[in-house]
Structures are given as C-alpha cells and as structure tokens.
Structure 1
C-alpha cells in the first residue's frame, strides 16, 4: 500500500496539514519541524505527487528560461552555462524545476513563450537577454505573466519591468579610461550583435570616455560580430587592415577575445607589447589564455541567482512592485595590457 501524508504525519507527530506545508516549503513552518517531517518522509519512502499538487494549486513549480535566438551559438559562450548555474541553484533551493527554450529564431522563441504561458507549463520566466524591438517582453507584460529580465529593457519604462543587470555603460567607460591612463588614444572597439542592448550600452560607454578626453571617435575602429571565437577572429582581420592600427582593443566578451588573441598570434602581433586588450565577463577560461586576460568581472552567477530570487518573489507575492537590481562589476587586471 502506498505511503500517504497521514502516515508521514503520524511518524513525525504533526498534523497532515503541517506535512503539506513542509512539502510546499512554507515559511510558516520552523526549520526544526521541516527537518523532522523530511526525515519521516525519507524513512517511509514517501514521495510527493507534484503533478496532483500542481493541479490543485494551479502551479507547475517550474520556471522557464528563454535563451537568445540560436541556443546553439549561445552555448558556445560560457556566459550562458554560468548564468543558468545561478538560476538553477536558487530554483533548487526553492523547489522549482527548469524549462529551457530551444527556439532558433525570434518567431520560434515567441511561439514557444506563448506555449509556456497559454499551456500553463511554467509559473514564471527568466529572459536571458534584452533585444532591440523585442516581441517577447511586450507579450508577457500584456498577459500580466511573471517574468524577470537579465539585462536592461530597451526603449521601455523601466518601472514596468523587473530586471537584474550590470551598469554596462559605466563598465565600458571605465575600461576605456583605464586604457587611456596607460597612454592609449587609438582604441578599437569589438562589439557583439547590435540587436542586443548590452552591446549598445558598451559602445555608448566607450564613446563617452573618448569624448570626455577630447579624442576623436573613429568609426573604422568600431566593428561588430557574434560573440563567439570566430567573431573575434573576423574582427581582428578588419582592424589590422587599417593603415593606422589601434594600439588597444576593447572586446565585448572573453570568448571573442580568445579568437582575437589567436588571430593576432597568427599575424605575429604581440599582446601586450604591440597591442593591449581588455575584455568583459571574466569567465573561468579567461585565466587560461596567453597572456591572461584583463577583463571585467560582471558576476554572472549572481545575475542568475538574483533574477531567480526576484522571479520567485513575484510568483509568490504578485502584489510586490517591479524591482531594478544592479549587480556590481570589477576590473580584473592581468597580463593583456601595457
């Protein structure tokens, strides 16, 4: 005969309603009682029927994660596994599973989000990107569906959206000023896809720093490619073909920087002797490059963790207003600048 909630309650010497609250991880139950009930569940081999609970509560205990289009390209970048690690840690702590989008185009992603919402597949959604002219966010706002954005909403009232972000404008301005302090004036900018708000903010910070220092912004020094290793290689080919080459580069992402370093080595251009490089993200592999990358630590794990914490609060307490959280960044000085 199957073990029931009543059997667990009897073993733990509590009411059946207390067992139900422990399963739901209610804050009304003390940790001591939770421990006793969970021990009784373990001893009796009791496993909650989450499908039945979901039907009763109209809850799935599942969070949706929406990737930028082409997850295939996204997963080449260590940013995404690391931010998902932050999301999954908090989700696990709160008893939520994860549902990952797989759409390859903007249209497929929007259709998948609609299925998540209309089909009641998830309780809330984390958007891992902020796109110019995005269609997903307006749909979620229109539906009144809980979601949190990692990034900055573009061309929208920020009071309408809960988002977790870095100050990417300030970070790019800081690294540009750092290179100028080292004596560089011919500073190139290798940005990611211009469809994404983070790229726009990086470029604005770079241009503002040059303007403040009365250094001319040279359009030929600014190139944009996908944030993968090959994108970095293609960018270097463009910039190194200029007659008056840059003496320093700001690169949007560490994985692109690997491509940059590889191509510069093939061209016999020494880093940092001939050209200095600053990157963004401080993923684990940034210390494995030769030379080791000077990069901006944006605390990727914390972005995911904080976003999930905000989302679960929105799900459990719908009356709570929208929030804006800025995760601090830090310049990590290593060996790629001179």
Structure 2
C-alpha cells in the first residue's frame, strides 16, 4: 500500500494540512516543524504527487524558459548555459522546476508561448532575448501571464526585466582600447534586431565620438550570433582594412574573429569579447572579455518572476547587473 499524506501527518504528529504546507515550503510554518515533517517523509519514503497538487492549487511550480535558435544550434552559445545555471539555482531554492524550450523565429516563438500559456504547464515565463517591437513581450502582456525578460525592453516601466548597462560596458572597452593607442577599431555584433547589439553599438559609437574619432561604417558589421558569421565578417573587414582592434558583442563572435585573423597570419589586432565564457581563457592567445555576470542575470530574472507569481511586493521591476572587463593576452 502506498504511503499517504495522512501517514506522514501521523508520524510527525501534525495535521495533513500542515504537511501540505511544508511540501509547498510555506513561510508560515516554523523551521522546526518543517524539519520534523521532512524527516517523517524520508522515513516513510513519501513522494508527493506534484501533478495532483498542481490541479488542486492551480500552480505547477514550474517556470518556462524560452531560448532562441533552432535545435541545431541550441545551447551552442555559452551565455544561455550560464544564465540557466543562475535561473535553476534560484528556482530550486524556492521549490520550482524549469521547463525549457526553443523557437526558430518570431512567429514560432509566439506559437510556443501560446502553447505554454494555453496548456497551463508553467506558472511564468522567462524570455532570454529582447528585440525591437518584441512580439513575444506584446503577446504575454496581452495574455496577462507572469513573465520576465533578460534584456532591456521597449516598455521599461511596465515590464519586469534584468540586464547590464550595455552602453557603458562597451563604451568603457572602446575607450580603454583608444587610450592604449588603437585608433581604427572594428565592431562585429549580432543582428541589430536584438536590443543587446543595439546598445553595445551605441556604446562603441559614443566612445569614438568622445575621443574625436570618426566612425567608419566599413568597420561595423551586424551579423548572426554565430562563430561562422563572425568569421566571414572578419574576412570582409580585413579585405577592406586591417583594424588596430576589434570589439565584439559576444565571445562566440570573438572566436570566429580570432580564427579568421589567425588564418591570415594577423597577430597584432587587439580583440575583446563579451560574456567571459570559460573557453575564452583557453584560446591561443587567450581572449579578453567583459564579464556580464550571466549567472547573476539568470538568478535575478528568476527572482523577479517568482515574486510576481507569489504576489510578493517588490520595490523595483528591474535589476541592472554590474560588468567587468577581464583582460587577457588578446589586448596586451
């Protein structure tokens, strides 16, 4: 015979409703009672029926995580793995599970979200990218479904979001390169439809302007967020002119840039990536990169979402996470 919640209650000398609250990690239950109930559950090898509980409580204790890209390149970008680590860590602490999925394009993204919301599989959703006139954000706002975005949305005041100050982060990088004596600085970023590309490009242009350097449009490329696209963009750039330095909006892009430069035997171009992924320190030469605290971005995104779901009062609807340039061989 299977163990029931009443069996656990009898063993812990509490009511069945108290056991239920302990399973839900209710803050009103004392730590001592929680410990006693959990000990009874362990002794009896009791496993709560989460599906039945979700039907009763109208809560799945599950967060949906939407990632960009097709299944072929899913999770190739280390940023999303780092952000997921922060999301998962905070969610687990609060008793939530993660369901992640992906979408190939904008139309597919809205369809995936529609299925998630309509099926009631998740209590809330985390979007890991933000675009201009973002259809996914508009859909979730229309459906009044709890969500948070990693990135700065158009509607900053009425959306929960977490991001870095991407304009300042890139400005500081380019300004430092100029102070090191670099004048011709190339920029290779992801597609301009993504807000993160837009803001980092603005930081790049601002640094040039402040230092009285005219921007050369032939040194600016906005391609896909892939190593191969960056590799091709770099070859085009050096056919026009070999710059003193190249800044990128992602380490994956920086890897493509470095490959193209090394193939051409070019070793004296400074290079900076973003996200400070583990692989960047093992490249030859090692690549300088801006640490955006991706894990912290994920953690605060999960915090904002769970607070919404649980109706916890919040003083802010957004968090700005600090960045730091980690200098390595590519800028020395």
Task: Identify the TM-score tier after normalising by the shorter chain.
Answer: over 0.9
What runs of 5+ residues in structure 1 fail to find an aligned partner? none
TM-score by length of 2: 0.96
Q: Distance in 2 between matches of 1:324 and 1:263?
A: 38
Q: Is the 8 A contact 1:79 1:300 kept in 2?
A: yes
Q: Distance in 2 between matches of 1:286 and 1:79?
A: 12
1:314 aligns with 2:308: yes
Q: 1:135 to 1:321 in 2, by over 3 A?
A: farther
**Deviation per residue, 1:205-228 (Å, 9 max, x gap):** 000110111110110010122222
Among 265, 268, 272, the residue aligned to 2:265 = 268
What secondary structure does 2:304 align onto?
A: helix
What is the correspondence of 1:157-172 to structure 2 with a 5 Å cutoff? Answer: 158-172=156-170
What is the correspondence of 1:115-130 to structure 2 with a 5 Å cutoff? Answer: 115-130=115-130
CA apart distance, 1:260: 1.3
Q: 1:318 to 1:137 in 2, by over 3 A?
A: farther
Q: Is the 8 A contact 2:68 2:102 kept in 1?
A: no
Q: Distance in 2 between matches of 1:207 and 1:177?
A: 10
CA apart distance, 1:321: 6.9
CA apart distance, 1:30: 2.1
Question: Which has the higher mean CA deviation after the structures are superposed, 75-84 or 93-102?
Answer: 93-102
Among 242, 248, 264, the residue aligned to 1:251 = 248
1:329 aligns with 2:323: yes
Q: Distance in 2 between matches of 1:76 and 1:239?
A: 25
Match of 1:15 in 2: 15
What secondary structure does 1:130 align onto?
A: coil
Q: Distance in 2 between matches of 1:146 and 1:177?
A: 39
Give structure 1 regions of 4+ aligned residues with deviation exceeding 6 angstroms.
Answer: none
TM-score by length of 1: 0.95
Q: Distance in 2 between matches of 1:77 and 1:99?
A: 19
Match of 2:78 in 1: 78
What secondary structure does 2:73 align onto?
A: helix
Match of 1:277 in 2: 271
Q: Is the 8 A contact 1:69 1:106 kept in 2?
A: no
**Deviation per residue, 1:235-288 (Å, 9 max, x gap):** 21011101x421111011111211111111110101xxx211111100111111
Aligned length: 332
**Deviation per residue, 1:18-62 (Å, 9 max, x gap):** 111110011111222212211110110111111111111111111
Match of 2:294 in 1: 300
Q: Is the 8 A contact 2:189 2:253 kept in 1?
A: no
**Deviation per residue, 1:107-131 (Å, 9 max, x gap):** 1110110111122111000000001
Q: Distance in 1 between matches of 2:322 and 2:234?
A: 30
Match of 1:205 in 2: 203
CA apart distance, 1:318: 6.5
Match of 1:187 in 2: 185
